[in-house]
Amino acid sequence: MESIGVRQRLITLEGIDGAGKSTHIKAMAQLLQEQGGSVLVSREPGGSALAERLRELLLHEPMGSFTELLLIFAARNDHVERSIRPALARGQWVLCDRFTDATWAYQGAGRGMDAAQIAWLEASVHADVQPLRTYWFDLDPMEAAKRRALSRGSADRFESEDLRFFERVRTGYQERAALRPDCFFRIDASQNQSQIAELLLNDLKECIQSLPAGAPIIGSDCA
């Protein structure tokens, strides 16, 4: 795993379904543009034509846990190769709604998939691409379930999981945050939207200032 150690202009947002992370991407992109940056806004699963088709399978088709894991990384590989890596090479910022930390939380902690398998797939797909900052929207799974019930139509495969599943996923995110304290930024997602936006955008400004113009940060402990 020593090859995983490069952070670039990649910002990821993480959290269980219903935590509200997707709400803030537009404001984040606007801030980056105001600072003179070009921004690619993306998501996972998805972010490329093939990955979006795989997303539909992942969200709606019955499958086993190992098949799910492989499809997620197949989608991620295409996303990284066709969208993320070219954008970073052009000097763009990339804002991504979920990335590999979601796999560790959902498939690792949630589904109980083997950590060695996830680590191998991560190293194979994007050893040279790691987030500068991961914003983790942390919310009690019961509250997240209430939000999903109010704001969504028909639930997909993941949203349909029970409370115990999301409790395991939250634990998975807690473990990832403990492993990567220099990259993870925890946001209490029970706060109101204006409080979250202020906290989020203030930290993002600091991230912008910390990154040398046109250069990745080498030697990160982000993985």
Q: What is the pLDDT of residues 163-173, one digit of tens each?
A: 999 999 999 99
Q: Strands 10-14, 39-43: parallel, antiparallel or unpaired by DSSP?
A: unpaired
- Judged against a pLDDT cut of 60, whether residue 6 lies above it is answered with no
Query: Are 100 and 173 in contact, with CB atoms under 8 Å apart?
Result: no
Query: Are 54 and 74 in contact, with CB atoms under 8 Å apart?
Result: yes
- Which residue from 88, 3, 78, 92 is spatially nearest to 45, judged by alpha carbons? 78
In this structure, which amino acid lies at residue 211? L
pTM higher than 0.95, yes or no?
no
- Judged against a pLDDT cut of 50, whether residue 1 lies above it is answered with no
CATH 3.40.50.300 fits 6-218, yes or no: yes
- Judged against a pLDDT cut of 80, whether residue 2 lies above it is answered with no
SS3 content of the chain, % helix, strand, coil (to 5): 55, 15, 30
Q: Tell me: the pLDDT tens digits for 13-32?
A: 999 988 888 889 999 999 99
pLDDT at 212: 65
pLDDT at 217: 42
The ranges assigned to domains in the chain are 6-218
Rounded Cα gap, residues 173 and 15, in angstroms = 8
- Judged against a pLDDT cut of 90, whether residue 77 lies above it is answered with yes
